[in-house]
Chain A
Amino acid sequence: MKSNLFKYTAIAAFLVALLFSINSNAQEKDASNYDMSFEFKTIKQDDNTRLLEANFNGKNTEDRKDIIPMFNAEIKFFNVLNEEEVLLGTAKTSKEGIAQITLPENQKYLTDENGNINLIARFEGNDAVAESSAELIVKNIKLALNLEEIDSVKTVLVTAFTFDESGAEIPLEETDVIIYVQGMFSKMKIAEGTISEGAFEFEMPTDLPGDSKGNLTVFSIIEGNEQYGTVIQKKNIKWGVFQQKIKDTQNTLWSSAAPVWMYVVLTILLVGVWANYIYTIINLFKIKKEGQDLELEPES
């Protein structure tokens, strides 16, 4: 008897367990074997606004190439000084795992004694995912790009300054800068150099075509610098030597309008042949008329 009971309970328990396990067999899978990775960077854009970007991904511990972006996670951006945290903004990660906020040019930051701005991007964390954060230290910088023709030589002039406490400009030293030209899909590097005494000069190549109107967009970018982050500056100028190759693409074999001589020949041939056919048909009608007249004659 008792064994019977056990048997029944065992079966019932098994069925109930099955019921629950099926329920949890939905589309969602556990992310327990994924390590969270959090990256944070800052870009000063050409209109002098500052972009803060956080990149939040999960990396598979077994397959390092399997990276899944975190979606819809709320990231908070702070400006810290000692213990004080000022919230600069919040953003949710996109389907690529990127959360961005843009701060205007006149944004006031708390700077430490060296003039550096401390920034933190943080994901608050919950039961399932631990808190993640990353910190940046960046110095405010002003990058200017000038395109001038000096002594009929097209020159690119890059000037860069940081600011001290009183707001005076301090020229930059020993910072790498790269000059790019904008293409349809990407930017093409045309020069690499170092800013010394706050300036960098470079002679522009004279054979770049630019776009169809001869416009060139020149970029000067400080990339991933430890002190300054990424700083971008751009300018448009009509230094392109684009020459429209005037090719006669009308009335060719592959255009929609054919070469003129084809139309002429075709018309001549067709008119000739069809004129003959019409002549034949006219004569047939004459034969018919004659036959009809003959038939009527005896009657009259």
Chain B
Amino acid sequence: MKKNQTEEGGTDRRKFLKLGLMTSLTAIAGASIVTNLAAQEEEKEPEGEVIRLLTPEGKIVEVNASNINKYPEALVAPAESRIGIPDRKFVMVIDLAKCKNARKCVEECQKAHKLDDHQEFIKIQLISNNEEGQPYWFPKPCFHCDEPPCVIVCPTGATFKRDDGIVLVDNERCIGCKFCVTSCPYSARQFNWGHKEKFDDKSQPYSPETGVPAAEGTVMKCDFCPDLLRQGELPHCAKACPMGVIYFGDKNEDIVTNGEETVRFSQLINDRGGYRHLEHLGTKPNVYYLPAVNRQFPLERGFNVDEEIVERYKDVPYVKELKKQGKI
């Protein structure tokens, strides 16, 4: 009897020890899992735009992309932004023969100006010259006209034309009357209808040259990226275009470039028949277009985009045809 008891007692003790060991191991494991997870949450995830880098130890890390404003000095304050970059007259040339609706210009601009998915400073239209011709993709930024109807009608001078040709909006002066939005014949302006969280980001002071952070109840539009121009870089859309559709330069020195090709502006316009859109309205735009001749891509390739974006062109007769034929 006693032997049995000791044996049983021995087994119980063993069981107890084993149980205790397992419990403690589980507890440790569980605790470390929890702290690990908590630590992961506390670890600062890179915010905003990130770039990936390889380290010499063979690992890939993500770091914050540097601030979009790489000014050597502080930002250009609103009062100073009314004076342009001296001795320049900026001009843009868009080659319609090469555009295939890749929309990289739209996306880069949205990223740089912290726009929502559905806000675009540069829109891609699908227009045709007449009923017989096929339509072509038509990127349309703000034209920064030399006689801008929007500047004329602004009651407070919140939008202004600078000596270097750029038309900017000062979101600290704008009262949101939207007269400029109604008077632009190219529909180039947008309005901030409500409050958005991104407006509260005060990490960089506001400058009309970047338009970030925007303000509720004010107007915004394409600004030819003066912050990049001051650093000798092309605007985001010109840099991003994979086909080199957008040329940008200074009319005074008669040179435009798309990042790869650098040509004389006057030669480009004269050889390729550059024109301005709706010239007869007398706004004197500073964006020239090269006609869609000798197109490099079939038009259908431009519809390799999201369904929602294809829907935006549903009223174009050509798109209706394609839909009927079942191609998109």
Q: Which residues of A contact B (CB under 8 A)?
A: 5, 8, 11-12, 15-16, 18-19, 22-23, 25-32, 34, 57-58, 68-74, 95, 97, 123, 126-129, 181, 183-189, 208-212, 242, 249, 252-256
Interface centre among B61, B148, B253 (most CB of A within 10 A): B253
Say how far B274's CB is from chain A's closest CB, in angstroms: 17
Distance between A204 CB and nearest chain B CB, rounded to angstroms: 14
Do B253 and A16 touch (CB < 8 A)? no
Evaluate contact between B263 and A188: CB separation under 8 angstroms.
yes
Q: Which residues of A contact B61 (CB under 8 A)?
A: 27-28
Contact of B29 among A15, A72, A254 (CB under 8 A): A15
The answer to whether A69 and B54 have CB atoms under 8 Å apart is yes
A132 CB to nearest B CB, Å: 11
Task: Report if B264 contacts A (CB, 8 A).
Answer: yes
Least Cβ distance of B324 to chain A in Å?
36
| CB atoms of B253 and A183 under 8 A apart | yes
Residue of A23, A249, A254 ringed by the most chain B CB atoms within 10 A: A254
Residue numbers in A under 8 Å from B160 (CB-CB): 256
- The interface centre, meaning the residue of B30, B37, B53, B88 with most chain A CB atoms within 10 A of its CB, is B53
Verify B56–A22 contact, CB threshold 8 A: no
Residues of B within 8 A of A185 (CB): 232-234, 248-249, 257, 262
Q: Are B25 and A183 touching (Cβ within 8 A)? A: no
Partner of B250, one of A70, A184, A253: A184
Cα A239 to Cα B252 in complex, Å, equals 15
User: Contacts A23-B36, A71-B55 hold; do A188 and B262 have CB atoms under 8 A apart?
Assistant: yes
Which of B43, B58, B253 is close to A211, meaning CB atoms less than 8 Å apart? Answer: B253
- CB-CB nearest in chain A for B53: A71
Q: Is B296 an interface residue (CB 8 A)?
A: no
B26 CB–A CB distance under 8 Å: yes
Q: Are A184 and B88 in contact (CB under 8 A)?
A: yes
Name B residues whose Cβ lies closer than 8 Å to a Cβ of A.
18, 22, 25-26, 29-30, 32-33, 36-37, 40, 43, 51-63, 86-88, 147-148, 151-152, 157, 160-161, 163, 229, 232-234, 248-250, 252-255, 257, 259, 262-264
Q: Shortest CB–CB separation between residue A247 and chain B, in angstroms?
A: 9
Chain A, Cβ-Cβ closest to B46: A27
Closest CB in chain A relative to B253 CB, distance in Å: 5
Determine how close the nearest CB of chain B comes to the CB of A260; give it in whole angstroms.
16
Report the bound CA distance from A199 to B255 in whole Å. 28
Inter-chain contact A30/B58, CB cutoff 8 Å: yes
CB < 8 Å neighbour of A254 from B52, B54, B56, B152: B152
CB B227 to nearest CB in A, in angstroms, measures 14
Given the interface pairs A184-B88, A184-B253, the reply to whether A16 lies near B55 with Cβ below 8 Å is no
What are some 12 contacts across the A-B interface (CB < 8 A)?
A: A8-B18, A22-B33, A22-B37, A31-B59, A58-B54, A69-B53, A183-B262, A184-B229, A186-B255, A188-B264, A212-B252, A254-B147
Q: Are B25 and A5 in contact (CB under 8 A)?
A: no
Q: Which residues of B contact A212 (CB under 8 A)?
A: 86-87, 252
Whether B252 contacts A242 by the Cβ 8 Å rule is yes
Chain B residue nearest in CB terms to A23: B36
User: B56, A256: Cβ atoms under 8 Å?
Assistant: no
* 16 further contact pairs, Cβ within 8 A, besides A95-B51, A185-B233: A15-B30, A18-B33, A29-B60, A68-B52, A69-B53, A69-B54, A72-B55, A183-B250, A183-B255, A186-B259, A188-B257, A188-B262, A188-B263, A208-B254, A209-B252, A212-B86
